[in-house]
Amino acid sequence: EAGVVQSPRYKIIEKKQPVAFWCNPISGHNTLYWYLQNLGQGPELLIRYENEEAVDDSQLPKDRFSAERLKGVDSTLKIQPAELGDSAVYLCASSLDASGKNNEQFFGPGTRLTVL
Amino acid sequence: GDSVTQMEGPVTLSEEAFLTINCTYTATGYPSLFWYVQYPGEGLQLLLKATKADDKGSNKGFEATYRKETTSFHLEKGSVQVSDSAVYFCALMDSSYKLIFGSGTRLLVRP
């Protein structure tokens, strides 16, 4: 079974440019997460989806970040415009559900963003 | 708010040495606790978990026991291998099902 797929794996852009990341979760997983991982730190949740609904986006900087999960499967995370401080790894994860016994989160390899 | 603190790395050991990576947490209630591992160039993988006090999670020779009295979840392995070299993250799941991670501990095992 395929794991969580993310693309691109690496992205280099200049500041003020837009950028988008794509995530395909494990088939059948209802819950999808986007995390931000700064160098030398643990991941921090940006947004959580239950199917197509964003149920926790309290940590998403809404002035420049946006996300969508159309049809409750694939998801995209966008930054517009990017700033130097956005350089980090963006991780996508999925789980069958958020609660109970099916809440194990499976992580993708991440997209490493460098903003110049 | 809830938080996780783990020992800073890097931790450098010789093959077959005993490993301990300390992890303590601050949380309301009794959260589920996790250890994730991140090998170079790969995504995070769940290593083990414990969902209630005194539970012991174990996998691939690694163990961690949920200690409510000391709010700790230390990771141990009796004999490390070169292939165990990775970054290890301790995490808790808060009441809103959000994973809160520590800052990670890099382990380097030398032959």
pLDDT by residue (tens digit) across B17-49? 999 999 999 998 889 999 999 998 888 999 999
Interface list for chain A against chain B, based on CB atoms closer than 8 Å: 3-4, 33, 40-45, 48, 56, 91, 93, 98-99, 103-110
Query: Tens digits of per-residue pLDDT, A35-76?
Result: 999 998 999 999 999 999 999 898 999 999 999 998 889 999
Q: Is the dihedral of CA B44, A41, B58, B20 positive or negative?
A: positive
The structure tokens listed for B40 are 């170079």
Say how many CB pairs under 8 Å bridge A and B: 46
| CB–CB contact A48 B99 (8 Å) | no
Please judge whether B43 and A109 are an interchain contact, meaning their C-beta atoms are less than 8 angstroms apart: yes
Q: Which residue is associated with the tokens 């300390």?
A: B22
pLDDT at A13 over 70: yes
The total of other beta-carbon atoms located within 10 Å of residue A41's CB is: 15
Chosen from A26, A37, A55, A59 to mutate, greatest number of chain B CBs within 10 A = A37
In chain B, what is the straight-line distance between the N-terminal and C-terminal CA atoms, in Å? 41
- The answer to whether B100 touches B91, Cβ cutoff 8 Å, is yes
**B105 burial via Cβ count (<10 Å: 0-12, 13-18, 19+):** buried
How far away is chain B from the Cα of A18, in angstroms, using its nearest Cα? Answer: 25
The distance of B3 to chain A (nearest Cα, Å) reads: 11
- Any idea what DSSP says for residue A83? -
Q: How confident is the model at residue A1 (pLDDT cuts 50, 70, 90)?
A: low
DSSP A9-38: SEEEE-TT--EEEEEE--TT--EEEEEEE-
Residue B38 CA to residue A23 CA, distance in Å, equals 19
Contact B97 A3 (CB under 8 A): no
Comparing CA positions, the residue from B110, B106, B99, B81 lying closest to residue B25 is B99
Q: In the prediction, which pLDDT does B96 show?
A: 83
Would the pLDDT of A99 be above 80? no
Q: Mean pLDDT in chain B?
A: 94
